[in-house]
Amino acid sequence: MKMLINVAETVVADALRGMAAAHPELTVDVENRVIVRRDAPVDDKVGLVSGGGSGHEPLHGGFVGRGMLSAACPGEVFTSPVPDQMVRAAAAVDSGKGVLFIVKNYTGDVMNFDMAAELAEDEGIQVAKVLVDDDVAVTDSLYTAGRRGTGATLFVEKIAGAAAEEGMPLERVEALARQVNENSRSFGVALSACSTPAKGSPTFDLPAGQLELGIGIHGEPGRERRPMMTAGEIAEFAVDAILDDMRPRNPVLLLVNGMGATPLLELYGFHAEVTRVLAARDVAVARVLVGNYVTSLDMAGASLTLCQIDEELLRLWDAPVRTPALRWGM
């Protein structure tokens, strides 16, 4: 697999150098792998720190900025960052009002953020944690590591970020983040596997004419493989997988997310089908985001995320945001 890189060993550091060059409004510590808002710590504001393996860009570094994350910690490709990064980030953004860790539910991320929380508290930083686990494709929570954190991470980071920007206390920001996660569900499909720079070839073998249903964002195969379906059929399958788990009574935020290698032409066509299916199922859509936001390197495919909202969540969603990957209202 050809890749636009120098060598596999330096892909994360190289990308961080590029982030630094492109975004002077961020402080990018390439050596210690922390991306921080340049104006941090902001007085009297809860700090928001997230992080995870690289390969999901723009998540999380692309969501650092006003109205969203205070800092992000990128790990190696598909590998959780280490506690040292998170402690450094927490110290950089804490104004004394505490720090919220936003953690996607993967074994490694959970362990490293838990260790970091203990270390940060030893340094006198008040830390709260919220776990994102929105992926309905993981059906058996008793015999697995539990539902994975995917697209809902964007909703949690945006809404908690707006709440923190308004000066809400840590307990309130944490409660809102938890509410967003509890009201969110996701489902993803892959048309091709992704290739990690370290391996250089696809992480699993997906024959031509087949797709994977219920994939994660780390190149792991899904729960089920089927002959290729049309965009309309995939939309029906994904929407119904979500609605089987959560039947929204309120309007929803909708994220139609590309996995990295699916052209926007296809993604918008898919979105048209999703819109049709949601209307047929009487689900009202309040806001829509279509694009590549929570990716899996060069995987082709898409995921859907629905978040049931109320007036406060919608107000916080609409609040101004200025980050490399998400910006409106300012």
Partner 1 sequence: MLDAEFFRRWMTATAAAVDREAERLTELDSPIGDADHGSNLRRGFTAVAAALEKDPPDTPGAVLTLAGRQLISTVGGASGPLYGTLLRRTGKELGEAAEVSEAQFADALRAGVDAVAKLGGAVPGDKTMVDALEPAVAELATSFRAAAEAAARGAEATVPLIARKGRASYLGERSAGHQDPGATSTALLFAALAEAAGDGAEG
Catalytic residues: 56, 218
Contact 113, 103 (CB under 8 A): yes
Total residues contacting partner 1 by CB under 8 A comes to 35
For residues 183 and 307, the answer to whether their CB atoms sit within 8 Å is yes
Among 115, 261, 286, 290, binds partner 1 (CB under 8 A): 115
What three-state secondary structure class fits 223?
coil
| Contact between 204 and partner 1 per CB under 8 A | yes
Is residue 25 within the footprint of partner 1 (CB under 8 A)? no
The binder of partner 1 chosen from 1, 3, 5, 145 (CB under 8 A): 145
Closest CA to 214 of 291, 318, 313, 134: 134
Give the nearest distance from C-beta 63 to partner 1 in angstroms.
20
- Which C-beta is closer to partner 1: that of 201 or that of 265? 201
Q: Judged by CB under 8 A, which stretch of 14-22, 157-165, 197-205, 315-323 contacts partner 1? A: 197-205
3-class secondary-structure state, position 128: strand
Residues 72-101 that bind partner 1 (CB under 8 A): 75-84
Burial class for 208, CB neighbours closer than 10 Å (0-12, 13-18, 19+): exposed
Cα distances from 233 to residues 163, 227, 230, 276, 284, in angstroms, run 38, 11, 5, 11, 20
Q: Is 315 in the site for partner 1 (CB under 8 A)?
A: no
Query: Shortest approach of partner 1 to residue 197 CB, angstroms?
Result: 10
- Stretch touching partner 1 by CB under 8 A, among 35-43, 107-115, 172-180, 226-234: 107-115
Q: Which two tokens stand for residue 259?
A: 């996995």
Residues 216-255 contacting partner 1, CB under 8 A = 216, 218-221, 223
Determine the Cα–Cα distance for residues 148 and 139; give it in Å rounded to an integer: 11
Choose which of 140, 207, 208, 330 interacts with partner 1 (CB under 8 A).
140
Instruction: Identify the three-state secondary structure at position 283.
Output: coil
